């Protein structure tokens, strides 16, 4: 039976922050697709609204059960996602040279988005069951490393370097949270750096060009460097207050590529300037700090690690995307969580936010 105390402890602050970011996202997407509404832009805008409605429904659904049930479902959910990642390599839809989507009827989705949440749940279960250690050594982590490596390998094969990178960074954040021994951390860092040449030679040619263009922005301004150069022009032209809503010239004239997905933040910066960009980043900052507070105040280890992992997904997608569109990182194709267009991303993030709210609502159960 649903406990009345759960309603009394409903996390309205988290919900309001998500609604605010979602509202800015919808307004920004309308502007990003305004010039192409006769060629499908209006459909993109309406689909985003539908995805948000579904996403908030999923969020509320994720609050209706005790999140500890996920401890029992962690391994089945993980292997189910692994199966989907294998399936996408066999029968997945191919777009722009990448095979990342599975289609059921008229709906397509990215299994890699589900893999983020399932991996965080699995790591939360593993480290909550092995919580007797004060510090972990490398020999204690072979299982988590295996759990991380399998989906990353499959996602890189799609190829989707950005999502694989996000998984690695999120999992590394969890390792820091559960405390890994300094000596082991140094060895892990050196090993990762040593693997750079092997990673480089296994990248796709376009991925190598993007990294080289990041190091030398003037090397190929009309080719691999076109995306980032146009993005920086859009962001810089916004100045302090921006050019005004629906008045961004880079957006209107379609100089800015992928303006409704990976470069959605550039559209906002051009039209609303530094003030508007800072306002959106402030909302994300509040969301992240509120999520960290939920992780810190959770009364059990599983809840704390799960909350931290969910917050890490949003944080690192925010950091990488904003650094990417401003030229501080190479273009790796990571969307801005909750903000960029994409049904799979929105629903998976909202499912994670629902779990975060679930943990927040049930903190009193352990007092």
pLDDT top residue among 3 and 164: 164
Give the span between the Cα atoms of 166 and 122, in whole angstroms.
16
Instruction: Report the pLDDT value the prediction gives residue 18, as an integer from 0 to 100.
Output: 96
pLDDT digits (tens, 9 = 90+) for 269-285: 999 999 999 999 999 99
What are the phi and psi torsion angles at 149 (to 5°)? -65, -40
Asked if pLDDT for residue 305 goes beyond 90, the answer is yes
pLDDT top residue among 109 and 290: 290
Give the span between the Cα atoms of 142 and 106, in whole angstroms.
40
Contacts of 143 (CB under 8 A, 6+ apart): 126
Asked if pLDDT for residue 362 goes beyond 90, the answer is no
Q: Are 173 and 185 in contact (CB under 8 A)?
A: no
Instruction: Report the pLDDT value the prediction gives residue 191, as an integer from 0 to 100.
Output: 83
Q: Are 281 and 293 in contact (CB under 8 A)?
A: no
Instruction: Report the pLDDT value the prediction gives residue 336, as an integer from 0 to 100.
Output: 92
Q: Are 230 and 256 in contact (CB under 8 A)?
A: yes
Instruction: Report the pLDDT value the prediction gives residue 3, as an integer from 0 to 100.
Output: 61
| Pairing, β 98-104 against β 93-95 | antiparallel
Question: Mean pLDDT across the stretch 330-351?
Answer: 90
Instruction: Report the pLDDT value the prediction gives residue 209, as an integer from 0 to 100.
Output: 73
Contacts of 58 (CB under 8 A, 6+ apart): 347, 350, 351, 354
% residues pLDDT > 90 (the chain) = 50
Instruction: Report the pLDDT value the prediction gives residue 312, as an integer from 0 to 100.
Output: 96
Question: Mean pLDDT across the stretch 97-118?
Answer: 85
Asked if pLDDT for residue 289 goes beyond 60, the answer is yes
Instruction: Report the pLDDT value the prediction gives residue 219, as an integer from 0 to 100.
Output: 64
- Could you tell me the pLDDT band of residue 217, with boundaries at 50, 70 and 90? low
Q: Where are the domains of the chain?
A: 69-338
Only one residue has tokens 């066999």, namely: 90
Instruction: Report the pLDDT value the prediction gives residue 104, as an integer from 0 to 100.
Output: 78
Only one residue has tokens 């999992």, namely: 171
pLDDT digits (tens, 9 = 90+) for 163-185: 888 999 999 999 989 888 888 88
Contacts of 169 (CB under 8 A, 6+ apart): 312, 316, 320
290: tokens are 């509120």
Question: What is the end-to-end Cα distance of the chain in Å, rounded?
Answer: 20
Among 77-86, 205-214, 292-301, the minimum mean pLDDT is found in 205-214
Give the span between the Cα atoms of 307 and 293, in whole angstroms.
9
Asked if pLDDT for residue 39 goes beyond 80, the answer is no
**What mean pLDDT, rounded, does the chain reach?**
86
Give the span between the Cα atoms of 12 and 232, in whole angstroms.
36
Please provide the size of the chain in residues. Answer: 367
3-state secondary structure 28-83: HHHHHHHCCHHHCHHHHHHHHHHHHHHHHHHHHHCCCCCCCHHHHHHHHHHHHHHH
- Could you tell me the pLDDT band of residue 367, with boundaries at 50, 70 and 90? very low
Instruction: Report the pLDDT value the prediction gives residue 44, as an integer from 0 to 100.
Output: 81
pLDDT top residue among 206 and 150: 150
Asked if pLDDT for residue 2 goes beyond 60, the answer is no
Give the span between the Cα atoms of 156 and 168, in whole angstroms.
12
Question: Mean pLDDT across the stretch 338-343?
Answer: 90
Q: Is the peptide bond between 118 and the residue preceding it cis, with omega within 30 degrees of 0?
A: no
- Could you tell me the pLDDT band of residue 1, with boundaries at 50, 70 and 90? very low
pLDDT top residue among 299 and 105: 299
Q: Are 167 and 152 in contact (CB under 8 A)?
A: yes
Give the span between the Cα atoms of 360 and 354, in whole angstroms.
10
- Could you tell me the pLDDT band of residue 5, with boundaries at 50, 70 and 90? low
Instruction: Report the pLDDT value the prediction gives residue 250, as an integer from 0 to 100.
Output: 83
Reduced to 3 states (helix: H, G, I; strand: E, B; else coil), residue 1 is coil
Give the span between the Cα atoms of 196 and 32, in whole angstroms.
37
% residues pLDDT > 70 (the chain) = 90
Give the span between the Cα atoms of 187 and 337, in whole angstroms.
32
Question: Mean pLDDT across the stretch 243-253?
Answer: 84
């Amino acid at each position: 039976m649903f406990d009345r105390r759960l309603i009394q402890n409903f996390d309205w602050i988290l919900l309001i922050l998500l609604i605010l970011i979602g509202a800015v996202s919808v307004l920004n997407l309308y502007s990003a697709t305004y010039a192409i509404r006769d060629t499908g832009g209006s459909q993109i805008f309406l689909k985003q609204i539908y995805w948000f409605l579904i996403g908030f429904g999923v969020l509320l659904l994720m609050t209706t059960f005790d999140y500890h049930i996920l401890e029992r479902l962690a391994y089945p959910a993980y292997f189910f996602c692994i199966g989907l990642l294998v399936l996408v390599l066999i029968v997945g839809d191919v777009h722009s040279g990448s095979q990342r989507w599975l289609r059921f009827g008229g709906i397509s989705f990215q299994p890699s988005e589900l893999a983020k949440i399932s991996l965080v749940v699995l790591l939360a279960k593993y480290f909550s069951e092995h919580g007797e250690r004060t510090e972990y050594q490398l020999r204690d982590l072979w299982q988590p490393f295996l759990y991380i490596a399998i989906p990353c390998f499959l996602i890189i094969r799609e190829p989707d370097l950005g999502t694989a990178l996000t998984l690695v960074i999120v999992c590394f954040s969890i390792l820091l949270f559960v405390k890994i021994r300094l000596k082991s951390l140094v060895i892990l860092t050196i090993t990762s750096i040593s693997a750079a040449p092997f990673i480089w030679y296994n990248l796709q040619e376009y991925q190598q060009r993007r990294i080289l263009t990041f190091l030398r922005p003037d090397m190929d301004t009309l080719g691999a460097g076109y995306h980032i150069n146009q993005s920086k022009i859009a962001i810089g032209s916004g100045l302090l207050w921006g050019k005004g809503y629906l008045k961004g010239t880079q957006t209107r004239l379609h100089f800015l590529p992928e303006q409704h997905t990976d470069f959605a933040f550039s559209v906002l910066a051009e039209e609303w300037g530094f003030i508007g960009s800072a306002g959106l980043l402030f909302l994300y900052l509040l969301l992240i700090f509120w999520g960290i507070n939920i992780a810190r105040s959770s009364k059990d280890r599983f809840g704390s690690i799960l909350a931290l992992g969910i917050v890490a997904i949003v944080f690192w997608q925010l950091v990488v995307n904003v650094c990417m569109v401003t030229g501080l990182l190479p273009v790796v194709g990571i969307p801005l969580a909750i903000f960029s267009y994409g049904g799979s991303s929105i629903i998976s993030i909202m499912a994670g936010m629902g779990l975060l709210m679930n943990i927040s609502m049930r903190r009193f159960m352990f007092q």
